[in-house]
């Protein structure tokens, strides 16, 4: 019973953070139609920016907010430098994949030069924990879940209710028609890139206290986010959130009952099986209504 | 039947290379090149730091094999697979597993002769390629990226934390191949040069053969117009699976050779920076072409060596990352075709004037 509760709570925590990571990827895929292989590097950048700002003596919350904004700036700069020039050209799908891999390697090695290879310790949002039915629940993990849910709900609201969100959805459904309706497509791209990078930054700030913060720490979150995105059906925000929970629960249960070293092989096996049976993912929808 | 249907018209000269992709190589030039590679050590071994240059040559030969076979999948067939480094490592482990057992390292399975076990490397890599390819090669684009990246990480994770036969994080230490004794040479570095050259020449010939063959034509057709290729009767999955295994075979051989050359193989072989380095070799040289990966490997190895001398550690990969991005943006076909195009435009001015 204790183990079950432990696994359930772990699933909720993992699921909400994977949701944050993966929604950023899915937004970009839906609107701009490229795979951002530098998403993990942006996650790392968010973590390091927060660490540095606090190291300089800023209080925690402003430091985190600034770090998230900074990650958005890094993401937009990366987009302008490496993605914008090839977008829409012949063979752009492969080209954007390679150029974002290159951008990711540059960001990660810049972090290596600036901050060194050693792990940095990020403080938790709220110290302390509470024990419920023999399961240790840290206040930090509660805050992580609450923040993730709030942010994802906010994102849904932004996409569904606001004018900018409407523009993003229009662009992701039919770019040419959106352009004809006088939607500034280039600016929408920048908004999407900024929001996506900011979400990666939030994930970096929230997750690095639990995991580790070093220059290569973004690889696993990127891989997990990719799994979630594909499982949820590419470009579908709602599907991505459900898939994030599913992957989070699976991973948490495997860790509690089988041990941590099994989580990746089993996840990999599952994604192979799912893709063999349903290549469009669990929640894959017709192309026209992805966001 | 009228007579003119039986006699096929000869294609015009400028289309002949396209209509006959399996045309012959330039034999005298090839022979000259091979001869130059064969006699090179005679001159190099007299130099002061000949060991350094011979080592660079061995690295070039082996990495060129990996880059070429990856280019076969990535460039010629257009499958965005990131699993090549995993096949390289699988090759290395396959031979180390059966040759590395010793009193100080009892982890491995056996201590057979490396001359026997090195053949396990290509076979194991090809087998893994088939197992991975069966679910993966039916899919396209982003799914292929995910599955191959996941495969690489799963293999790395398994080798680093799995059963102790793999030596966990330390890896294994396979014995060196006794090439010098076999060839009757007194310098092992020269002997290794010739062994690596043999691996390089055989693999390069095999890859050249595939690119300039009807099969290569079918692969390119599959990349550029999949629906049309399939409607013309190309069995997509079978062809891709065969190519994937073929490419993994030579990569595995290179990995096996490398593990014996270095006398070590560990999970760090599966690092992402190594993958980026190989990708840079292919992209810089020009992917999808025969010469691209070979030229790219030579350029990157020289550049890498120069950077090692002039810059501190972290800058190396930043330079490669920037180079990779700049090439993809400015010269997507690679540096070789890009320079060729500049040269053609440059000379066209004179041709038009004259």
Indicate whether A75 pLDDT > 90.
yes
For residue A99, give the nearest of B138, B313, B329 by CB distance: B329
Instruction: Name the residue with higher pLDDT: B66 or A272.
Output: B66
Contact A183, A171 (CB under 8 A): yes
B270-294 per-position pLDDT tens digit: 888 889 899 999 998 888 888 889 9
Interchain pair B314, A223: CB under 8 A: no
Q: Collect all residues with Cβ–Cβ distance below 8 Å to B313 and sequence separation of at least 6.
A: A112
Indicate whether A252 pLDDT > 70.
yes
Indicate whether B8 pLDDT > 60.
no
Phi, psi at B333, each rounded to 5°: -85, 0
B345: pLDDT confidence band, cut at 50, 70 and 90? confident
Structure tokens at B346: 């440059």
Interchain pair B154, A95: CB under 8 A: no
Phi, psi at B248, each rounded to 5°: -70, -30
> Which residues of chain B have a CB within 8 Å of the CB of A26?
none
Interchain pair B135, A106: CB under 8 A: no
> Which residues of chain A have a CB within 8 Å of the CB of B321?
102-106, 109
B100-116 per-position pLDDT tens digit: 877 767 777 777 888 88
A81 → chain B, closest CA residue: B325
Instruction: Name the residue with higher pLDDT: A132 or A96.
Output: A96
> Which residues of chain B have a CB within 8 Å of the CB of A275?
135, 139, 143, 147
Please report the ipTM that was assigned to this predicted complex. 0.83
Interchain pair B138, A102: CB under 8 A: no
Interchain pair A227, B321: CB under 8 A: no
Phi, psi at B55, each rounded to 5°: -65, -40
Distance CA A248, CA A246 (A): 5
Interchain pair B146, A271: CB under 8 A: yes
Question: Tell me, what's the pLDDT at B248?
Answer: 96
Question: Tell me, what's the pLDDT at B18?
Answer: 60
Interchain pair A105, B279: CB under 8 A: no
Q: Is B182 on the interface with A (CB under 8 A)?
A: no
Cα dihedral A241/A245/A251/A253 (nearest 10): -170
Indicate whether B119 pLDDT > 80.
yes
Among the ranges A265-274, A279-288, B318-327, B330-339, which has the highest mean pLDDT value? B318-327
Question: Tell me, what's the pLDDT at A281?
Answer: 61
Structure tokens at A17: 């953070």
Interchain pair A268, B150: CB under 8 A: yes
Angle between helices B236-262 and B120-136 (to 10 degrees): 140
Name beta bridge partners: A136.
A131
Cα dihedral B17/B23/B27/B30 (nearest 10): 70
| Test mutation, B332, B333, B334, B337, chain A, max A CBs within 10 A | B332
How far is residue B236 from each of residues B128, B137, B242, measured CA to CA in Å? 19, 9, 10
Distance CA A95, CA A79 (A): 13
For residue B276, give the nearest of A35, A89, A105 by CB distance: A105
CA nearest to B88, candidates B115, B56, B114, B124: B124
Q: Is B142 on the interface with A (CB under 8 A)?
A: yes
Q: If contacts are CB pairs under 8 Å, which of residues 295-354 in chain B contact chain A? A: 312-315, 317-318, 320-322, 324-325, 328-329, 332
A76-113 per-position pLDDT tens digit: 999 999 888 887 777 777 888 889 999 999 999 999 88
């Amino acid at each position: 019973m204790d183990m079950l509760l432990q696994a359930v709570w772990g699933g909720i925590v993992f699921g909400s953070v994977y949701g944050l990571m993966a929604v950023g990827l899915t937004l970009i895929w839906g609107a701009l139609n490229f795979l951002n292989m530098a998403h993990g590097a942006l996650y790392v950048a968010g973590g390091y920016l927060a660490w540095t700002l606090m190291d300089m003596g800023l209080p925690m919350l402003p430091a985190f907010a600034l770090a998230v904004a900074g990650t958005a700036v890094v993401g937009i700069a990366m987009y302008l430098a490496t993605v914008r020039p090839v977008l829409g050209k012949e063979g752009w799908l492969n080209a954007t994949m390679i150029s974002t891999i290159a951008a990711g390697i540059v960001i990660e090695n810049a972090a290596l030069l600036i901050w060194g290879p050693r792990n940095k310790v990020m403080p938790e949002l709220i110290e302390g924990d509470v024990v419920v039915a023999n399961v240790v629940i840290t206040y930090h993990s509660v805050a992580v879940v609450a923040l993730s849910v709030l942010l994802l709900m906010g994102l849904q609201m932004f996409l569904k209710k606001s004018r900018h969100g409407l523009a993003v959805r229009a662009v992701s459904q039919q770019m040419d028609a959106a352009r004809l309706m006088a939607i500034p497509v280039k600016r929408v791209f920048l908004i999407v890139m900024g929001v996506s990078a900011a979400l990666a930054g939030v994930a970096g700030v929230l997750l690095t206290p639990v995991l580790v913060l070093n220059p290569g720490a973004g690889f696993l979150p990127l891989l997990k986010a990719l799994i979630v995105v594909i499982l949820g059906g590419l470009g579908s925000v709602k599907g991505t959130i459900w898939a994030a929970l599913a992957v989070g629960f699976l991973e948490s249960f495997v860790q509690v009952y089988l041990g941590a070293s099994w989580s990746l092989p089993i996840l990999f096996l599952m994604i192979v099986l799912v893709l063999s049976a349903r290549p469009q993912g669990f929640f894959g929808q017709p192309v026209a209504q992805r966001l | 039947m009228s007579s003119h249907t039986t006699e096929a018209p000869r294609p015009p000269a400028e289309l002949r290379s396209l209509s006959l992709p399996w045309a012959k190589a330039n034999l005298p030039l090839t022979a000259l090149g091979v001869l130059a590679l064969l006699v090179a050590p005679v001159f190099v071994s007299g130099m002061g730091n000949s060991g350094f240059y011979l080592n660079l040559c061995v690295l070039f030969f082996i990495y060129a094999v990996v880059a070429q076979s990856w280019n076969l999948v990535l460039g010629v067939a257009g499958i965005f697979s990131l699993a090549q480094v995993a096949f390289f490592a699988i090759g290395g482990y396959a031979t180390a597993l059966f040759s590395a057992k010793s009193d100080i390292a009892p982890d491995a399975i056996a201590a057979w002769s490396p001359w026997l076990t090195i053949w396990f490397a290509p076979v194991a890599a090809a087998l893994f390629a088939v197992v991975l390819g069966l679910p993966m090669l039916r899919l396209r684009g982003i799914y292929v990226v995910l599955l191959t990246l996941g495969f690489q990480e799963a293999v790395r994770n398994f080798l680093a934390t799995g059963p102790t036969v793999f030596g966990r994080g330390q890896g294994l230490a396979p014995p060196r191949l006794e090439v010098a004794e076999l060839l009757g040479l007194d310098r092992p570095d020269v002997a290794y040069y010739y062994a690596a050259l043999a691996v390089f020449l055989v693999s390069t010939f095999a890859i050249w053969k595939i690119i300039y063959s009807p099969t290569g034509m079918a692969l390119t057709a599959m990349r550029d117009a999949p629906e049309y290729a399939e409607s013309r009767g190309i069995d997509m999955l079978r062809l891709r699976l065969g190519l994937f295994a073929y490419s993994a075979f030579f990569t595995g051989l290179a990995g096996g050779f490398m593990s014996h050359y270095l006398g070590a193989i560990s999970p760090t072989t599966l690092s992402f920076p190594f993958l980026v380095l190989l990708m840079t070799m292919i992209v810089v040289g020009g992917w999808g072409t025969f010469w691209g990966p070979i030229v790219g490997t030579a350029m990157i190895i020289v550049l890498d060596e120069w950077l090692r001398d002039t810059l501190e550690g972290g800058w190396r990969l930043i330079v490669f990352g920037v180079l990779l991005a700049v090439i993809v943006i400015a010269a997507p076909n690679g540096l070789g075709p890009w320079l060729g195009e500049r040269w053609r435009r440059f000379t066209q001015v004179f041709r038009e004037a004259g």
